Amino acid sequence: MLKRVLFIEHDHVSEAGPIWAQFKKRGYEIVRFLIVDEAHFHTPNVKVEWPNFFDFEVIVVMGAPWGAYEDERIGNWLAPEIENLRAAHNAGIPILGICFGGQLMARILGGTVSRSPHAELGWYEIQSDDEAFIPSGPWFQYHWDRFTVPPQGIEIARTQLCPQAFTFGRTLGLQFHPEIDPNVLELWLAMDGGCAEVEDEGIDVNDLRAQTMKNEAGANQRGYDLVDRFLDRIAIAPIQRK
């Protein structure tokens, strides 16, 4: 039987590097669904025709440069995405949420999302309650917002700033970016304002590139392992509805 995984890409620079590679290795056909194309980057409140989420065995919800709480700014697509993801989660379709995707799943499942007092940018060690599932890293961080874990969710990992991973039934929500590699980083930095927003946080872009190159092999393996553990552990967990 053909297995298909839907990657919801909120912007035009949402490539998934090692995450794509491991889903393919596990026998999944990757279907990419782009919401805001490059032409609408500065006017992101577009209307889209959503695919049927029930046509897929797994859904991966990628990052975004907008807030998972910005209903007025991106509500034309955010509101239906919330409803579609809630229905998929409640039906037992495994969902992996990354950064914005993790924040969005936290919101859907009863947590909150808000602006952080400061950004997390670069490579961070995290505190994990289950190293065999979510190791301490280093993992790549690239966010200005943070979520709280839903009341019925289980927090797996955190930094001093915010939670980094939680589970809720067949959903795994992450704050960090397991999909990062040097190519993905270059796409983000090439976005309008990408380098400037990083440098505004006191981060040297060239140092960030060098660290990403240095960490690539280890980070890729952690990404592969995370996909395996998600599929082998979370995707077959008991259904927990919201």
Catalytic residues: 99, 177, 179
The C-alpha atoms of residue 147 and residue 104 are separated, in whole angstroms, by 9
The C-alpha atoms of residue 101 and residue 68 are separated, in whole angstroms, by 8
Contact 55, 202 (CB under 8 A): no
Residue 154: burial class (beta carbons within 10 Å; 0-12, 13-18, 19+): middle
